[in-house]
Amino acid sequence: MSPLEIENTLRYHLDLLLPQHMTREVYEYATLPGGKLFRPSLVWSTLSDLDPVLYSKSLQNRNSPHALLASAVEFHHSYTLIHDDLPCMDDDTIRRGKPCTHLVYGEWQALLAGDGLLNLSYQLLSKSKHERALEVIRFFSWALGPKGLIQGQVLDLSEEMTKSFENTLRTHELKTARLIQVAILGSAMQTTLKNTKREKSLWKFSKLLGINFQLIDDLSELSEEVLSEHETAVNPWLHHTEQTYLETIKSLDTFNLLSLELKLVNTNKIITEYYQKMVSIITLNQGMIEMHLNKKINLFPVILLMKKFS
Amino acid sequence: MSPLEIENTLRYHLDLLLPQHMTREVYEYATLPGGKLFRPSLVWSTLSDLDPVLYSKSLQNRNSPHALLASAVEFHHSYTLIHDDLPCMDDDTIRRGKPCTHLVYGEWQALLAGDGLLNLSYQLLSKSKHERALEVIRFFSWALGPKGLIQGQVLDLSEEMTKSFENTLRTHELKTARLIQVAILGSAMQTTLKNTKREKSLWKFSKLLGINFQLIDDLSELSEEVLSEHETAVNPWLHHTEQTYLETIKSLDTFNLLSLELKLVNTNKIITEYYQKMVSIITLNQGMIEMHLNKKINLFPVILLMKKFS
């Protein structure tokens, strides 16, 4: 599924489920054009890897369980971004290269659009005709609710996250990995045949993917000359350099091994693309990164493991 | 179902679904002790009116579809209150006689607890084993999402609401009635036998109940000597006095007639209690209300219609 078609499906659901009112504009501003569309792409790539026949059928139907899940995951992601950017949260100004929603439409419009997208994600899932639709909602709400993603946001914003490296990893698992797990495992749950053993492997695969995604993202953030206050306060590469370094290598390595077992060709393509982008950012800015780290660490093994993937 | 038992069920689900972390306290502060518990009481009263056998069975089971719906409705209501009270929304300081959640725990904790309760309401609904569980989620998300309750909040906070009396009514329908409709109709949807005709009547009944609830509430707000800026800006009794007066009488009258048809004995008891409370507030403060209205209007017919109910 191409990013363009993923976006067209998002637009289709916005047209269908939103009032034709000026607030329609707020939702569209906050969701389109999408960013990397990493999460909805994973929904589709997982389906195409596990069930190519169902994938072909689902492509044509914007209300197929997978089209609904892909849109729900992306709308849910957008709501977390809107709320994260609010002044009382991270107080950000730029998102995806444009001013944050609350700066353009005001805080209450941004807050309510976030709430609206949150509801919308469940509305989409409830339209699924898959026999496991209710189970998917149960998983989705558990993974992204107060014990999941939201607890990750709490750990991030409170002093908890940086207190120990374990807390950092837990934060990354909850705040970043859970939504990626919902995309991959939610997609697997809605294939034609139920395969519990495969679902267990995918749980581990998607959890590691999410954690790696965030650890590498943290590293690439150090490419900037000036770091934000929040970044300086929470980036684990600055506070637990040695542990973060070792964990990243271990985690990338385990992930590569697991990926060889699972053979998810299309999913691996998406991850490879992401890694390639990160490798080039990190290689290009190695000097700046090392300056922030205040010591010479050998980034070569990290880069090698990303290059070796798939 | 007694208010105490409704609260115990809320506490049971908080214990089950929240991390044992300091944020547990934020959720509890925002939800317990509950207010009137008007909405979850309506879930139970509707069930006891329509299906007494299932009601008896459901009472003992905190994971029965109706126990889950009652808790979901109340948690969802609590999330809207937390977000409504935030500085960027109504900027309130007192809720249910105590300082608002954001004043005690800070804005980001309040925002995230609201998001958490929103997710939690869907998590509860997804645990239902009722064959129409998915349909209930679909109705719930439609009624409370961007085309429902949230659109009501948008109309309330923007200039739209007061532009015409029609907008006021639409705001009351979306912001107040929808959640009451979810309580009553959601409950009816989960009885043993499906009865589409009855559901249609209940749709109308609950919509009128919600609108009356808000119109009478607006009237009772005028009992205060000093009105808040927001109240002064949006109270329809101040801006469309004649129309609001006539609509209230018409709407109460239609509701009384519909209620005679439906014969919901236990539900009517709850509404009667609410009306009695409102009648006493309005009677006691008639002078103050008339002062705010800046003209003599005869409140007797309004009071009489509430007294005549059931």
pLDDT in tens, B94-103: 999 999 999 9
A261-309 confidence digits (pLDDT tens): 999 999 999 999 999 999 999 999 999 999 999 877 899 999 999 999 9
What is the distance between the alpha carbons of residues A287 and B305, in angstroms, rounded to a whole number?
78
Asked if the model's pLDDT at residue A22 lies above 80, the reply is no
A24-83 confidence digits (pLDDT tens): 999 999 999 988 899 999 999 999 999 999 999 999 999 999 999 999 999 999 999 999
Element (H, E) at B149: helix B149-157
Helices A3-17 and A22-31: angle between axes, nearest 10 degrees:
160
What is the β-pairing status of strands B98-99 and A98-99? Answer: unpaired
B199-253 confidence digits (pLDDT tens): 999 999 999 999 999 999 999 999 999 998 888 888 999 999 999 999 999 999 9
Closest Cα to residue B271, out of B186, B197, B208? B208
What is the distance between the alpha carbons of residues A87 and B107, in angstroms, rounded to a whole number?
10
8 A C-beta contact, residue B93 and residue B29: no
| pTM, 2 dp | 0.96
pLDDT category at B260 given cuts 50, 70, 90 is: very high
Contacts of B142 in chain A (CB under 8 A): 123
CA A286 to chain centre: 25
What is the predicted pLDDT for the residue at B269?
96
* DSSP code for A215: H
pLDDT category at B59 given cuts 50, 70, 90 is: very high
Closest Cα to residue A279, out of A298, A256, A304? A304
Who among B114, B119, B157 is closest to A108 (CB)? Answer: B157
B112-139 confidence digits (pLDDT tens): 999 999 999 999 999 999 999 999 999 9
3-state secondary structure of A113: helix
* DSSP code for A98: E
What is the predicted pLDDT for the residue at A115?
98
pLDDT category at B297 given cuts 50, 70, 90 is: confident
Q: At residue B82, what is the residue type?
A: I
Residues whose CB falls within 8 Å of the CB of residue A90, separated by 6 or more in sequence, listed in order: A84, A157, A230
Higher pLDDT, B310 or A134: A134
- Give the CA distances from residue A145 to residues A149, A153, B253, in Å, rounded to whole numbers and listed in that order: 6, 11, 43
A200-257 confidence digits (pLDDT tens): 999 999 999 999 999 999 999 999 999 988 888 889 999 999 999 999 999 999 999 9
Residue with tokens 């290689």: A283
User: Which tokens belong to B295?
Assistant: 């003209």
Contacts of A18 in chain B (CB under 8 A): 146-147
Residue with tokens 């995951």: A73
> Average pLDDT in the B45-66 region?
97
User: Which tokens belong to B84?
Assistant: 């409504």
Contacts of A159 in chain B (CB under 8 A): none
What is the β-pairing status of strands A98-99 and A94-95? Answer: antiparallel
Kindly report whether the peptide bond that precedes residue B87 is cis, defined as omega within 30 degrees of 0.
no
What is the predicted pLDDT for the residue at A113?
98
Who among A89, A127, A135 is closest to B111 (CB)? Answer: A89
What is the predicted pLDDT for the residue at A34?
87
> Average pLDDT in the B49-56 region?
97
What is the predicted pLDDT for the residue at B159?
77
- Distance to chain B for A247, nearest Cα, Å: 26
User: Which tokens belong to B189?
Assistant: 């949807």
pLDDT category at A20 given cuts 50, 70, 90 is: confident
8 A C-beta contact, residue A98 and residue A81: no
Asked if the model's pLDDT at residue B81 lies above 90, the reply is yes
> Average pLDDT in the B69-89 region?
98
What is the distance between the alpha carbons of residues B196 and B188, in angstroms, rounded to a whole number?
10
A77, A115, A175: best to mutate for the B interface, most B CBs within 10 A: A115
What is the predicted pLDDT for the residue at A295?
73
Name the residue range of residue A77's domain.
3-307
Q: Please indicate whether, in this complex, the C-beta atoms of B111 and A133 are within 8 angstroms of each other.
A: no
What is the predicted pLDDT for the residue at A288?
94
* For chain B, counts of helices (H) and of strands (E): 19, 2
Who among A120, A125, A126 is closest to B146 (CB)? Answer: A120
> Average pLDDT in the B144-164 region?
91
- Whether ipTM > 0.90 holds is yes
8 A C-beta contact, residue A49 and residue A267: yes
Q: Tell me whether A86 touches chain B (CB under 8 Å).
A: yes
- Give the CA distances from residue B191 to residues A61, A200, B49, B130, in Å, rounded to whole numbers and listed in that order: 33, 37, 10, 9
B24, B115, B160: best to mutate for the A interface, most A CBs within 10 A: B115
Strand partners, B95: B98
Number of domains in chain A: 1
String of DSSP letters for B16-83: HHS-SSHHHHHHHHHHSS-S--HHHHHHHHHHHHH-HHHHHHHHT-TTSHHHHHHHHHHHHHHHHHHH
User: A66-90 in b/e burial notation, b at 16+ Cβ within 10 A?
Assistant: bbbbbbbbbbbbbbbbbbbbbbbbb
What is the predicted pLDDT for the residue at A160?
79
Interface of A with B in 150-169 (CB under 8 A): 150-151, 153-154, 157
Who among B111, B119, B154 is closest to A145 (CB)? Answer: B119
Q: Please indicate whether, in this complex, the C-beta atoms of A23 and B118 are within 8 angstroms of each other.
A: no
Who among B83, B108, B116 is closest to A146 (CB)? Answer: B116
Whichever domain contains A147, its CATH number is 1.10.600.10
Asked if the model's pLDDT at residue B141 lies above 80, the reply is yes
What is the predicted pLDDT for the residue at B273?
95
Asked if the model's pLDDT at residue B296 lies above 80, the reply is no
Asked if the model's pLDDT at residue B6 lies above 80, the reply is yes
Q: Tell me whether B142 touches chain A (CB under 8 Å).
A: yes
